[in-house]
Chain A
Amino acid sequence: MTTFLGIGLYAMFQMIVVVVCILLGYFIYDKRYKSNRETKIPAGFELTEEVNLDPVTGEKTRVYYNPNTGERFYKKET
């Protein structure tokens, strides 16, 4: 009886760990790269001719470049 209870608790613990991993991944870690991009172009960024079409969402994004920092900014286009 005690053994069955132990196995049950262990299985439940494993399930909780898996569910927590899925929730953490979905809500916190497993996000698309720069998916929280702002629509306003930050100061110092210049327009480039580079355009990305996302193969999954079909979203079109234009790339802006900051020559001072070397950073790139992806702006969603409609």
Chain B
Amino acid sequence: MLVVTTERIEGYKVVDVKGPVFGLIVRSRGLGGDIMAGLKGLVGGEIKQYTAMLEDSRKEAMDRMIKNANQMGANAIIMMRYDSGEIGNNMSEIVAYGTAVVVEKLA
């Protein structure tokens, strides 16, 4: 599955557009991670507990989006983007979205 952030894929031709596709995830850290992150917040620096949470969220959102595109019969996703938001105090929502297409390699 080709996933690109551009409108066109070099060396390929879009032959069918399947439609919009997305993968959504809402994640939170556990109480232990939140306490440690809160303590780290007092002194500053990178909050690795939340970096890890967002890294994993983006991976999972991407995986879900690709799985959805596969189910739609696409073999590529163009114009892929991430969007994020917050739900509650310690929950993070990440969505990966794009346009599922079928591409053919140019001769």
* Residue ID in chain B nearest A54 by CB atoms: B55
Q: Is the CB of B31 within 8 A of A21?
A: yes
A4-35 interface code vs B (CB 8 A; 1 in, 0 out): 00000000000000100110111001101110
Interface range on chain A: under 10, 10 to 19, 20 to 34, or 35 or more?
20 to 34
From DSSP, what is the main secondary structure of chain B's interface residues? helix
Q: Please classify how large the interface on chain B is, using the bins under 10, 10 to 19, 20 to 34, 35 or more.
A: 20 to 34
Contact at A71–B63, with CB atoms within 8 Å? yes
A-B contact pairs, 7 of them (CB 8 A): A22-B35, A32-B52, A33-B59, A34-B59, A56-B52, A69-B67, A74-B59
**A→B interface (CB under 8 Å):** 18, 21-22, 24-26, 29-30, 32-34, 52, 54-56, 65, 67, 69-72, 74
